[in-house]
Structure formats: C-alpha cells, structure tokens
A and B are shown apart, each in its own frame.
Chain A
Amino acid sequence: MENQAAKELLYKMADDALIIGHRNSEWTGIGPMLEEDISFSSMAQDKIGHSWALFKILNKLGENEPDIVAFTRNAEQFHNCQMVEFPIGEYNFSLVRHFFFDLAEYHRYEMLEDSSLGDLAQLARKIKGEIKYHVLHAKTWMKNLGNSTEEAVSRLQGSLNELYPMALGMFEPSPFEDQIVSDGIFGGESELMSKWRSSVMEIIDQTQLELNIDGDWNPLYGGRSGVHTEHLQPLLDEMSEVVRTDPAAEW
C-alpha cells in the first residue's frame, strides 16, 4: 500500500496550502498597507496554485479531479492542520502564522526535492523557488516589527505564544511515518520539525521576541485525521459557494 502513505502526505500538504491560501486571500482589500495587501493576495494565489498541483498528482494516483476534491469534501475529510483554518484575526496573528507555516513549507519542499515519488520531487524543486519569496517576506516583517515599538513587539509576542502550539500541529506524525521514510518518499515529520525549529529560532534571536521552544507546549493535533475547529466548515461552505455561483471562477 505504498500509495496510501503518499496520498496521506499529498492530501495534508494540498489541504494546508488550499486553506491557508483562502484564509490569506481574505486580506485582499483590507491589508494594513497596500504593499501588504498585495503581498498576502499574491502569496494566497501561489498557495492555491500549489494545492492544485498537488491535487493533480493525487488525481494521477487515482483520486478524484482537483475541483471535486477541493470543493465537495466536508470538514472531517480535510487533513490540514488546525492552525491554517483559524480566522485571519489581527495582522500580527496572520504574520506569525505565515512565518511559522512558510518556514515549514520551505523545509518540507526542500526535503522532497529528491523524493522517490517523481512527480512530487519535480514539483518540490519548482515550488521551493517560489516559497523562498514567501519566507523572505515573513522574515523581513518579523525582524522589522520584532525590533520596532514596544507595542508591536508585545503584540507579536502574544501571537507567537498563541500560535506556537498550533504550529506544532503541523508535524503531527502520520500513521505511515515509518513507511514513508523507508520508501524514500519523505524524510518524516520529526526531521522536518527539527529543521523548522532551528530556522524559527535563527530569526527570533535577531529580534526582541522570545520563544522557549523546549517549554512544556501542548501541540494542537487532530487536523491530520480530520478533527477540526468550528472555523473550517463555514470556510469550506464559502469556498464552494463561490464555485457554485460562478462555475467559471478560475483559481
């Protein structure tokens, strides 16, 4: 059942990208500055494109067409981590989420560049180049705001503390963890998490922010197996509403 391990990985990656893409597109028109408005919209478009490319690989492995998979499943059939489904909140919440998420994505795609699943390896090499800009954006703003006014620093600090346990949910181990590693498809969540933690700390250490990564954190698990907050279903309803009212809407 090699496919099953690959599918689990592809679904959670695709769902993460799809959901955070739709969340971040909510900043369109309301960003704190025009540049940030454009950045979040542009990154959202990238993410939705990435989810589509992943759904296409799933389609080749025997799953339904991308638009069916994206717009007709219910919340309990989604495998995104819970972090990405929360409403956009204040700008500092969305920024810290973007920082945690994109650093993880970057390392995930980097690890997948030589995946034994050829289509995924090819896609990873391409996407890694794009995510560099997302990471660049996140790091720049974390460093800017993390070294600015007392108020900005304290707001960011609040979001860091709130989001860190949610972010750990990105690395919820899969039931296929051993298999996916031994099949050479992916190096595994725990290796990914350790790369991610060093990259996170490298930036935090250049700011006035603090994060005790060895603290007693309680990771927000569940998303990978279809357990979600009350925020996901309304978002999915909204997404498929757009498709129903405008079947030609392009993503």
Chain B
Amino acid sequence: MVDPGTIDPKILDILQEVKDPEIPTISLLDLGVITEVRIGENEQVRVEMTPTFVGCPAMDYMKRDVENKLEQNGYSDFEVNVSLEKPWTTNNITERGKKALKEHGLAPPPHLEKIVDIDILENVKCPYCESDNTELQTPFGPTLCRSMHFCHSCKQAFEQFKPL
C-alpha cells in the first residue's frame, strides 16, 4: 500500500484511474502493484511497481499505462520502475481493492499468514451468495492470479483471487 506521505494527492488521484487490464474495477494502487510514489530530485515523479506473479504477461502493459496516464495529465518528468524489491502479496490489496474484486465477481483473498495450505483454498466464501459451502476445483485459474471454485448453495462456479 502506498504511503501518501508528503506527495501531492493529485498524483494519487490520477494514478487511481489506472486500472488492472484484466479486472477493470480495481486500480493498480488498490491492487498493490504500485508500491511507491514519490517526488525525487527536480520534482521528478518516481513510481515503483512490482508484478503480481513473476510471469504476469500484463506487466509491461501496466507500466505503459501508468506512463501514459502521467503524460496525459501534463507530467513530463517521471520514471516508472519495475522491480521485486518489495514483492507483491495479496495482503497488499486495500479494503477498497477487495470490494472492487467482489464487484467483478471474484472472491477476495483472505489475509495470508505464513503457511499456504490446501485449507486456505477450501470453503472460500461465494462472492454471489456468501455461502461457504463451496469446494476448490483447482488452485489455478484462467489467469495466474486466480483459483477456481464451485458453490454448492447457488450451484455456480466462481473464481477467487488467490492468496499469495
């Protein structure tokens, strides 16, 4: 989560408009993919980003999106840097971000403690009917970030943004 610190809140408002290409309800800030925004020397805007998964195919695209957004809003001196220095985990998703996932029909990830075990993926709350009478189908989904589940209450398949 980005610490607003002393940066001009206008920049954060602008960046809030950059959404995840796969889940357009969530911003990259709320997803936690933007890890830091600060003003460097000579008023340069510096944005640090980190991939959700190492193999995330959308990372370059997201970086360009951030650059374009800054440019469109009149910033000419900026640097967007991608690194694993502050590795992403689902714990970086903000509360607003979790709501946005749900709006998109995705079960938000539970807060992750140290150990990932099968039970963290079992009985995930169904995003449609809130039931936890659900079953894990596979820890992998159509994109790297998701796992697939089935709800026995409303008989619908759903996906979870899986904890990492």
Chain A residues with a Cβ under 8 A of chain B: 35-36, 38-39, 41-43, 45-50, 52-53, 122-123, 125-127, 129-130, 132-133, 136-137, 140, 250-251
Q: Which residue of A lies closest to B162 (CB)?
A: A133
Give bound CA distance, A43 to B141, whole Å. 10
Contact in complex: B54, A133 (CB < 8 Å) = no
- Quote the shortest CB–CB distance from B87 to chain A (angstroms): 4
Contact in complex: A126, B54 (CB < 8 Å) = yes
Contact in complex: A49, B54 (CB < 8 Å) = yes
Question: Is chain A's binding surface mostly helix, strand, loop or mixed?
Answer: helix
Contact in complex: B54, A46 (CB < 8 Å) = yes
Q: Do A35 and B55 form a contact, CB below 8 Å, given A122-B85, A122-B87?
A: no
CB < 8 Å: which of A39, A46, A132, A250 contacts B53? A46
Contact in complex: A38, B87 (CB < 8 Å) = no
CB-CB contacts of B106-118 with A at 8 A, as 1s and 0s? Answer: 0000000000111
Chain A residue numbers with a CB within 8 Å of B78 are none
Give the size category of B's interface with A: 20 to 34
Give bound CA distance, A133 to B121, whole Å. 10
User: Which of B4-12, B37-45, B63-71, B132-140 lies at the interface?
Assistant: B132-140
Of the A-B pairs whose beta carbons lie under 8 Å apart in the complex, a sample of 13, sorted by A's number, is A39-B138, A39-B140, A41-B140, A43-B140, A45-B57, A45-B144, A49-B53, A50-B55, A122-B85, A125-B84, A127-B54, A132-B116, A133-B116
Q: Do A123 and B54 form a contact, CB below 8 Å, given A38-B138, A136-B116?
A: yes
Q: Do A42 and B141 form a contact, CB below 8 Å, given A126-B87, A136-B118?
A: yes
Contact in complex: A35, B164 (CB < 8 Å) = no
Give bound CA distance, A200 to B143, whole Å. 29
Give bound CA distance, A76 to B127, whole Å. 51
Q: Does B129 lie at the interface of the complex (its beta carbon under 8 Å from any beta carbon of A)?
A: no
Q: Does B148 lie at the interface of the complex (its beta carbon under 8 Å from any beta carbon of A)?
A: yes
Q: Do A39 and B142 form a contact, CB below 8 Å, given A52-B55, A122-B84, A122-B85?
A: no
- Quote the shortest CB–CB distance from B104 to chain A (angstroms): 19
CB < 8 Å: which of A48, A49, A133, A251 contacts B139? A133
Give bound CA distance, A122 to B142, whole Å. 27
- Quote the shortest CB–CB distance from B61 to chain A (angstroms): 10
Give bound CA distance, A126 to B54, whole Å. 8
Chain A residue numbers with a CB within 8 Å of B116 are 129, 132-133, 136
Q: Which residue of A lies closest to B163 (CB)?
A: A129
Chain A residue numbers with a CB within 8 Å of B142 are 38
Give bound CA distance, A137 to B85, whole Å. 28
Q: Which residue of B lies closest to A124 (CB)?
A: B84
- Quote the shortest CB–CB distance from B121 to chain A (angstroms): 8
Chain B residue numbers with a CB within 8 Å of A53 are 54
